[in-house]
């Protein structure tokens, strides 16, 4: 059995947004008990990550680390016509990835206790981000 | 056909641990000849990587590089109550990933000659890590 | 339904090479309408990424960034017998990944408008790289 649904998330600019519940809802609606769930973002300046979802400081620290590692306006970059955060957004996306694959067990996402599914917006401006969720299993 | 099994690996603290043989065993037991194998870790301070498995110096160098890139006790971090290696462990996990997908061909993991499947423990203390292996195919 | 094909790409040394059209051709030949497509590289010194495919400056900047972050000949590295770019190639591969998973919708790769599938060669010398493409779906 296969189930595929595209969802649109509106971000508020750079930062991480949890949408584990949205993925759980799609898995639940699919009726699939055991299998795999792929979450895929159709953009190159936002990414998808699994991250600790208990203490919000973790995502703040993660953002601080990434902003320091891939600084906006780095003179190294030539692709600058769309702003000083555009090329860093592409680099951050390549380093963190566009696609997640999570097992489905007992009709649920088999995440660990502290794992959440996050959209990481890398642009400073709010964006509409399209995400394809595909579930495969029995 | 789908097969899913959870295994537990006990780490000895920070470092990389190969468990390709364990994944091969699960694939072999599943009877699946051609398909895909997902390996997923249910934690946010350890990750899964594919890495060169011939020269042990490669994993030492990888660890040295990562320790330098994401230093323990970085004053940038505020999430520090669980120790100076906790927030770095979350960052390292996000950068290296929680999920691997490897093709299955002729009843085996279709890894390259020098590729091994590794659990990368990012905490200094030993931990029990739960890993879900899901195999899909014919 | 499952379809698996191995392709070989010959690189010209360090740099990014788009092969989205090759993946599209395999999906089209498979006859699969809806599902998932895995692209897997059987090497530890080249990787697979999704990246912006409109402005070539993006890949140049990405390469410049990575060369700066993981410098060739870094004195940190001991695994140096195969040259100053070998260990950096392993690090770059771990950071960017060996495996992509992309949804298939309406018989096509459901990539975003600006997403392309790239092989990133991390060695300076040209190499033959083997890539396994597995498509699963209806």
> pLDDT, tens digit, for every residue of C54-71?
999 999 999 999 999 999
Among B27, B32, B62, B136, the residue to mutate for chain C (most C Cβ within 10 A): B62
Which residues in chain C are contacts of B95 at CB distance < 8 A?
Answer: 95
Across the range C14-34, mean pLDDT stands at 98
The reply to whether residue B69 touches residue C74, judged by beta carbons under 8 angstroms, is: no
The chains in contact with chain A, meaning 3 or more Cβ pairs closer than 8 Å, are: B, C
CB < 8 Å to B4, chain A: 34, 103, 105
Each residue's pLDDT tens digit, B90-134: 999 999 999 999 999 999 999 999 999 999 999 999 999 999 999
Q: How far apart are CA C116 and CA B54, in angstroms?
A: 32
Q: Pairing state of beta strands C35-41 and C128-137?
A: antiparallel
Contact C134 B35 (CB under 8 A): yes
Residues 6+ apart with CB under 8 A from B25: none
Fill in the DSSP letter of residue C114. Answer: T
Across chain C, mean pLDDT equals: 98
DSSP per residue, C34-86: SEEEEEEE--SSEEEEEEE-S-HHHHHHHHHHHHHHS-TT-TT----TT-TTH
Percent of chain C scored above 70 by pLDDT? Answer: 100
Taking the C-alpha atoms of residue A107 and residue A34, their distance in angstroms, rounded to an integer, is 6
Beta bridge partners of B120: B16, B47
Q: Do A35 and B136 make contact, defined as CB atoms within 8 angstroms? A: yes
Query: What residues of C are in contact with residue B102 (Cβ under 8 Å)?
Result: 40, 99
Q: What is the mean pLDDT of residues A99-116?
A: 98
| DSSP 8-class letter at B54 | S
- For position B70, what pLDDT does the model report? 98
**pLDDT tier at A37 (50, 70, 90 boundaries)?**
very high
* Contact between B103 and C74 using a beta-carbon 8 Å cutoff: no
Residues 6+ away with beta carbon under 8 Å from A42: A129, A130, A131, A132, C110, C111, C112, C113, C115
Q: What is the dihedral of CA C100, C105, C106, C107, to 10 degrees?
A: 20
Query: DSSP assignment, residue A44?
Result: S
Please list, in sequence order, all residues whose beta carbon lies within 8 angstroms of the beta carbon of residue A130, skipping any fewer than 6 positions away.
A6, A7, A8, A41, A42, A43, C112
| Exposed/middle/buried for residue B106 (C-beta within 10 Å: 0-12, 13-18, 19+) | exposed
- Helix B56-69 to helix C86-96 angle (10° resolution) is 60
CA distance C116 to C53: 5
CATH top class, domain B2-137: mainly beta
Taking contacts as CB-CB distances below 8 angstroms, the residues of chain A near B78 are 57, 60-61
Q: Searching chain C, which residue's CA lies closest to the CA of residue A99?
A: C101
CA atoms within 13 A on the CB side of B87: 26
Mean pLDDT on B31-52: 98
Nearest Cβ partner of B61 from C41, C79, C130?
C79
d(C-alpha A20, C-alpha A17), whole Å: 9
- Give the helix, strand, coil percentages of chain A, each rounded to 5: 25, 40, 35
Question: What number of C-beta contacts closer than 8 Å exist between A and C?
Answer: 86
Residues A96-116 have a mean pLDDT of 98
List chains adjacent to chain C, taking adjacency as at least 3 C-beta pairs closer than 8 Å: A, B
Confidence band of B88 (pLDDT split at 50, 70, 90): very high
**Token pair listed for B28:** 């072999």
pLDDT score at B21: 98
pLDDT given at position C64: 98
Mean pLDDT of C14-37: 98
The answer to whether residue B96 neighbours chain A at the CB level (below 8 Å) is: no
* Mean pLDDT value across residues A118-132: 98
* Residue A21 structure tokens: 């519940």
β-strand pairing of B35-41 with B15-18: unpaired
Query: Is B130 in contact with B10 (CB distance < 8 Å)?
Result: no
How confident is the model over A44-69, as pLDDT tens digits?
A: 999 999 999 999 999 999 999 999 99
* Cα C85 from Cα C70, distance rounded (Å): 10
Nearest 5°: the CA angle C27, C29, C31 is 75
Measuring CA to CA, which residue among B13, A66, B9 is closest to residue C95? Answer: A66
Question: What pLDDT, on the 0 to 100 scale, is given for residue C84?
Answer: 98
Q: For residue range C94-129, what is the model confidence (pLDDT) as tens digits?
A: 999 999 999 999 999 999 999 999 999 999 999 999
Q: Where are the domains of chain B?
A: 2-137
Closest CA to A135 of A53, A48, A15, A23: A23
* Closest alpha carbon to B69 in A6, C69, A43: C69
- The pLDDT value given to residue B129: 98
């Amino acid at each position: 059995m296969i189930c595929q649904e595209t969802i649109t998330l509106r971000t508020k600019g750079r930062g991480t947004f949890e949408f584990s519940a949205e993925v759980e809802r799609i898995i639940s609606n699919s009726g699939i008990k055991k299998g795999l769930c792929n979450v895929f973002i159709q953009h190159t300046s936002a990414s998808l990550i699994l991250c600790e979802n208990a203490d919000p400081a973790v995502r703040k620290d993660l953002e601080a680390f990434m902003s320091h590692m891939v600084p906006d306006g780095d003179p190294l970059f030539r692709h600058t016509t769309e702003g000083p955060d555009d090329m860093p957004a592409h680099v951050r996306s390549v380093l963190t990835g566009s696609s997640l694959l999570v097992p489905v067990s007992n009709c649920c996402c088999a995440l660990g206790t502290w794992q959440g599914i996050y959209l990481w917006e890398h642009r400073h401006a709010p964006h509409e981000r399209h995400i394809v969720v595909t579930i495969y299993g029995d």
